Structure 1
Amino acid sequence: MEISETSKPFIIAEIGVNYYDIATKEDIDTLEAAKLMIKEAANAGADAVKFQTYKAEKLASKNSPAYWDRSEEATGSQYELFSKFDKFGLQEYKELADHCRTQGIIFLSTPFDFESADYLYDLMPLYKISSSDLTNLAFIEYIAKKGKAILLATGASTLGEIEEAANTVLKTGNKELCLMHCVLDYPTDYEDANLNMIKHLEAVFPDHLIGYSDHTRPDETMMTLTTAYLYGAKVIEKHFTLDKTLPGNDHYHAMDPDDLKMFVNNINLLQKISGQYYKHPLECEKESRKQARRSIVAKVSMKKGEILTREKVTFKRPGTGISPADLDKVLGREITKDILEDDLISWHKV
């Protein structure tokens, strides 16, 4: 799969590891919960779902402190948090990838170690690399050499770091790279979303597609994601849940199926109203051109042989007579037929 320039954004519903809490809420096993979330994301209009593939011991030291909002997620260390959600392996992801095919949606999962990058290769068409691995150049190079398209998140990074990561990909011969604007703060305050960075990345890296990975709380009209699309994001990714009220992890800043449907509807409406680039009258305006424009109209009745002067005419609808734009062409002419007050002036009468 190539990442391509299209009019509609590629929408990724990031399930991440939220299915663990959904399983508890619905009293079903975690695999069934993940499948349920896939189905709901597909029905709501996502192009892809994305999970996170890691083992806590390969991802974080046991002393790694929390960096999220502790009032929303009380877990005190990264290692402790990740240990709660690292039970899936190759067999589970294979089953989820198969289920995605039955639902008509693309399976993705972010690998966080070399082993998962290897076994996910056959299950998905592209790789997503987390902002946390932007400076992990050996890992980026390893994935890039696999030759699949890459979504590279850029949260908490400098332009220099992004450039170095992008060059690491390009040096492998892999040209399929999308840079994802992202703010590495959970949740991201609206004033910190900085969607203008999408335009900046596009200006600095014109040879790459630009996307957006969102961590703000869903707003009522999904304006944040919609604006990201309008600012040029070709890939839109946001955490996904079935219950935004669930405590902990990624539910509190995730979109639910209704939010996703609203965003998709926004995009569909924008597609309809954007229309053509070249300015010309549309077919739907054909009758309006005739009826809503003005014509040169007799202000007074005139007899054959009179000279048409400015004082004798005005401009009224409909526009089926002589256009006011041609006024200079008719003034000074001799009337060839009687004209009544309020008649449209026509060429066969002057």
Structure 2
Amino acid sequence: MTPAAPIDLTAYAGWDAPIFLIAEAGVNHGGDLDTAREMVRAAAAAGVDAIKFQTYSASRIATKASAAYWDRTQEPTATQFELFSKYDALGEADYRALAAECAAAGVLFLTTPFDIDCVSWLEPLVGTWKIASADITNPVLLRRVARTGKSVALSTGASTLEEIAAAVALLRAEGAQSIALLQCTLSYPTAAADAAVGGLVDLHAHFPELALGYSDHTQEADSYAVIAAAYTLGARVIEKHFTLDASLPGNDHYHALEPDGFVRLRSELNRLRTILGAPTKDVLDNEQAARTHARRSLVSRGDLAAGSVITEDALDVKRPGTGISPVELDAVLGRRLAVGVPDDTTLQWDMFEGADER
């Protein structure tokens, strides 16, 4: 299989940057390769740019006593080790097969490595690395992925600006090609009130040169509005959990979108892009008629004889804006009319003496 082409994340920095939409499959395949393949095909059909998995071994990611930190009414597993042990069935050959499936389906293959052991064999399969929020203070892993020379999309949930700055500095020093910072809330599921989309403003203020993104953990009823808000504040790398069936119990199904949800999300983001327009205040082509006809002009108040000197009480201000603008009132006052002007006439400069000299 041909190695994955590098992804330059600077392409997603800035107002006019395109959207990079990631369907976060994680381990919602339940450790079954055929289900994972089906997810690849469904994600591609839904119009995402990439589908992302999670690559880990339970024995390398958590101790056997590591406490759960998610909503146990949705995912009842008591420890992290127990949960990860349920879903770490896929190995190197399986991920290679998934990468090939992605290539055939026309969607990018991504995965989050959770230990350094898998980085070497994953490297030719991915064009960029995605690092989870919980590993922002894991310099061993950060150093290893940066040394591949590929770009890194770094989630920043539950992180301080100081921790983010330290991770960015390390990634840069160790050779990361480019970096994107993804705002997120490390809580499963995330309530809309805790979505913290405004954090993107702070990230942009401190890291203005980096691409921004948002990794969403809200449930579907809130996801579209939350992600739209994130896009409005500059997020162009959008990651959302993905499932074939959101009614399945546990894991990340309960805060994931199904394929139809991603179709809607892509459509909403494209529509929002049109709605937002350019980040500049301009007069639009479709405003030109209103600019001419809804603005006002100086208008005669009563019949004015030729030779009359214009005073303020001889004038009114009315639509349309096809005559002398009211902003030029001071230039009109004291001028002498060259012709007689009937009542309620829109004044023009050629009605005045010395019009050529103005």
Band the TM-score falls in, shorter-chain normalisation: 0.7 to 0.9
Q: How does 1:123-138 map to 2 (within 5 A)?
A: 123-138=125-140
Aligned counterpart for 2:22 among listed residues 12, 24, 29: 12
Cα offset for 1:75? 1.9
TM-score normalised to structure 2 length: 0.84
**Matched residue SS, 1:19:** coil
Q: 1:58 to 1:315 in 2, by over 3 A?
A: same
CA contact 1:221–1:262 (8 Å) conserved in 2: no
Q: How does 1:37-186 map to 2 (within 5 A)?
A: 37-186=39-188
Cα offset for 1:125? 0.3
Q: 1:196 to 1:308 in 2, by over 3 A?
A: closer
Cα offset for 1:73? 0.9
* Mapped partners of 1:148, 1:183: distance in 2: 25
Aligned counterpart for 1:269 among listed residues 268, 271, 286: 271
Aligned counterpart for 1:311 among listed residues 282, 306, 313: 313
Q: 1:313 to 1:254 in 2, by over 3 A?
A: same
Cα offset for 1:172? 1.8
Aligned residues: 342
Once the two structures are superposed, residues 105-152 of structure 1 have per-residue CA deviations (whole angstroms, 9 ceiling, x without a partner) of 211011223332121111110111222333332222222211111122
* Mapped partners of 2:281, 2:179: distance in 1: 34
Cα offset for 1:207? 5.1
Once the two structures are superposed, residues 295-349 of structure 1 have per-residue CA deviations (whole angstroms, 9 ceiling, x without a partner) of 2222223344444433333122221122222233333444433332222222333
Cα offset for 1:159? 4.0
Amino acid of the structure 1 residue aligned with 2:30: Y
Q: 1:340 to 1:219 in 2, by over 3 A?
A: same
**Matched residue SS, 1:219:** helix
2:351 matched residue in structure 1? 349
Q: 1:333 to 1:79 in 2, by over 3 A?
A: closer
* Mapped partners of 1:203, 1:229: distance in 2: 16
Amino acid of the structure 2 residue aligned with 1:16: G
Q: 1:223 to 1:278 in 2, by over 3 A?
A: closer
CA contact 1:153–1:213 (8 Å) conserved in 2: yes
* Mapped partners of 1:348, 1:180: distance in 2: 61
1:292 matched residue in structure 2? 294
Q: 1:19 to 1:273 in 2, by over 3 A?
A: same
Greater shift in the superposed pair: 34-43 or 288-297? 34-43
Where does structure 2 lack aligned partners over 5 or more consecutive residues?
A: 1-6, 353-358
Q: 1:286 to 1:147 in 2, by over 3 A?
A: same
**Matched residue SS, 1:51:** strand
Q: 1:10 to 1:76 in 2, by over 3 A?
A: same
* Mapped partners of 1:180, 1:94: distance in 2: 26
**Matched residue SS, 2:25:** strand
Cα offset for 1:80? 2.4
Greater shift in the superposed pair: 81-90 or 253-262? 253-262
Once the two structures are superposed, residues 148-189 of structure 1 have per-residue CA deviations (whole angstroms, 9 ceiling, x without a partner) of 111222333344443443333233233522333333221122
* Mapped partners of 1:332, 1:143: distance in 2: 76
CA contact 1:141–1:172 (8 Å) conserved in 2: yes
**Matched residue SS, 1:162:** helix
Greater shift in the superposed pair: 286-295 or 256-265? 256-265
1:246 matched residue in structure 2? 248
Greater shift in the superposed pair: 184-193 or 57-66? 57-66
1:203 matched residue in structure 2? 205
Cα offset for 1:277? 4.3
TM-score normalised to structure 1 length: 0.86
CA contact 2:41–2:105 (8 Å) conserved in 1: yes
Greater shift in the superposed pair: 194-203 or 11-20? 194-203
Where does structure 1 lack aligned partners over 5 or more consecutive residues?
A: 22-29
Cα offset for 1:15? 0.7
Greater shift in the superposed pair: 68-77 or 205-214? 205-214
CA contact 1:38–1:49 (8 Å) conserved in 2: yes
Once the two structures are superposed, residues 176-224 of structure 1 have per-residue CA deviations (whole angstroms, 9 ceiling, x without a partner) of 2233333322112233332333333333444544433222223346121
Q: What is the RMSD computed on CA atoms of the aligned residues?
A: 2.6
* Mapped partners of 1:206, 1:278: distance in 2: 18
* Mapped partners of 2:310, 2:161: distance in 1: 71
Structure 1 ranges of 4+ moved more than 6 A: none
Amino acid of the structure 2 residue aligned with 1:324: P
